Structure 1
Amino acid sequence: MLILEAEKHMRIVRPEHTGARVTVLVQPEESRLSLPRPKTARQLLEALGLAEESALVAREGQLLTPDRRIWPNDDLLVRKVASSG
């Protein structure tokens, strides 16, 4: 039941795309997105309009460097970060 509830609140990016997709939880907004699979974490951030220095990408609790591959059906976390100096 929780999965169905989460799917109701997921925004589908480019729904016409029929190829591989990934699911992304963007924090701190807690928004869920389904989008066509980017090949790397860097491309994911570009697709979201985020600079590499402004967000972290994680898969299964492991941080991904910008050059790390993203696989079809990955469930990813993008955490926006800010520093105060």
Structure 2
Amino acid sequence: MAIIVNLDVMLAKRKMKSNELAEKIGITTANLSILKTGKAKAIRFSTLEAICKELNCQPADILEFQNENTSTSSV
């Protein structure tokens, strides 16, 4: 997947548990888990906004683009 979700990193930096964030932003812990593991196919802007407000961060702190065509090995 080209989009990497770093939500677990931000939660650790803010010393917050997933279930606490889920409760504060009004989504289920199951849906937050799907997002955290990168299995989500989409995210609503309203959910992203709520996460950013609670974690006091920017969307780029949570979502990262990684080009799948870029090779990490050097020849």
Shorter-chain TM range is: under 0.3
Q: Which of the pair is proportionally richer in strand?
A: 1
Q: Which of the pair is proportionally richer in helix?
A: 2
The TM-score with structure 1 as length reference comes to 0.24
Larger Rg: 2
**Whose RCO is larger (CA < 8 A, sep 6+)?**
2
